[in-house]
Structure 1
Amino acid sequence: MRRNAPDHLNDADVRSILGSFLFVGDDVTKPAGVLSGGEKTRLALATIVASSANVLLLDEPTNNLDPASRAEVLGALSTFPGAVVMVSHDEGAVMSLQPERVVILPDGDEDLFNEDYLELVSLT
């Protein structure tokens, strides 16, 4: 993550971001190649959150995460200052991010989000 983080972030900032994605202690120095699938997902999301991106496009970001990791990832995403566009079948994840809009595919119909759309979220 250090290699991909913006220059204005110092090591303490990087460690803080990694900590918010449950990387603590010696975990922050692990090579990416030895990480589990869930850890790789958390690292990728941490790197994106630390970037200067203002839009995140996420496809099922909570898949393969244990409950604690899922909660941390959703907490970090909820503080992201830009727009988050997310595809998900995880009703809890959708509600935790308090969406403003929904786009129904394949037609591309857009509407203000309300809980009536949760029925569609859970469809597989």
Structure 2
Amino acid sequence: LTKSYGALDVLSGVDLAVDRGSRLVVLGFNGAGKTTLLRLLAGHEPPDSGRVVHGHGLRLGYFAQEHDTLDPGRTVRQNLAAHAPQLSDGEARTVLGAFLFGGDDADKPAGVLSGGEKTRLALAGLVSSRANVLLLDEPTNNLDPASRAEVLAAVGGYKGAVVMVTHDEEAVEALRPDRVLVLPDGVEDLWSPGYGELVTLA
């Protein structure tokens, strides 16, 4: 994949396969193209060259830093239902409770939620959906301790494949990655503890 914005080359020659159940962490300094890569994989914008090929039976879930997967005019419960329509009302309340939305919180419009609450709601929808690949862009940014604990638990317990961009060592520990992609060079490798030094530097 290659992607440029005007004269700025963001991605150049990135070649990546996300296998069933694999757990990949994407590392790189700010501006290295990490968010752009996830947007390309999610189909939110096209590459300039190369292509994204979906495997058979792919069901993709995407968490964006800007929370643009939430509808601010819908309530917390309605946003969850949009991502996980198979949940009964009781199941939805259980999921929302696990993500610290209790009682009347379910009827709040998503537009009035704090950044941390929006993160929790977006992750609640993704892990409850039928998605088998999650693309997570900085899912632990700006979270209070309780929210952070729930998000890390959700990442750690997710059974499908995960591609995660993060600067957070604890998020990497929760993910337990088997592979790493380092941008902007596009180097893909098996994960080893030596890459841990790049997480916070990035």
- TM-score normalized by structure 2? 0.58
Return 5+ residue gaps in structure 2 as ranges: 1-78
Of structures 1 and 2, the one with the larger relative CO (CA 8 A, separation 6+) is: 2
Other-structure match for 1:30: 108
1 or 2, which has the higher helix percentage?
Answer: 1
For the residues of structure 2 that align with 1:44 and 1:33, how far apart are their CA atoms?
13
Larger mean Cα displacement after TM superposition, 4-13 or 68-77? 4-13
Other-structure match for 2:62: none
RMSD over aligned Cα, in angstroms? 1.4
Other-structure match for 1:94: 172
Q: Which has the larger radius of gyration?
A: 2
TM-aligned CA deviation for residue 26 of structure 1: 1.9
Larger mean Cα displacement after TM superposition, 102-111 or 84-93? 102-111
Question: Residue 103 in 1 paired to residue 181 in 2?
Answer: yes
Alignment of 1:40-119 (within 5 A): 40-119=118-197
Residues 20, 76 of structure 1: 8 Å contact kept: no
Between the aligned residues of both structures, percent identity stands at 65
Secondary structure of 2:163's aligned partner: strand
Q: Deviations over 1:9-44 (max 9, x none)?
A: 101111122122111222222221211111011111
Q: Deviations over 1:60-118 (max 9, x none)?
A: 11001111101101101211121111111111111122111111112222222121111
Letter in 2 for 1:29: D
- TM-score normalized by structure 1? 0.90
For the residues of structure 2 that align with 1:2 and 1:68, how far apart are their CA atoms?
20
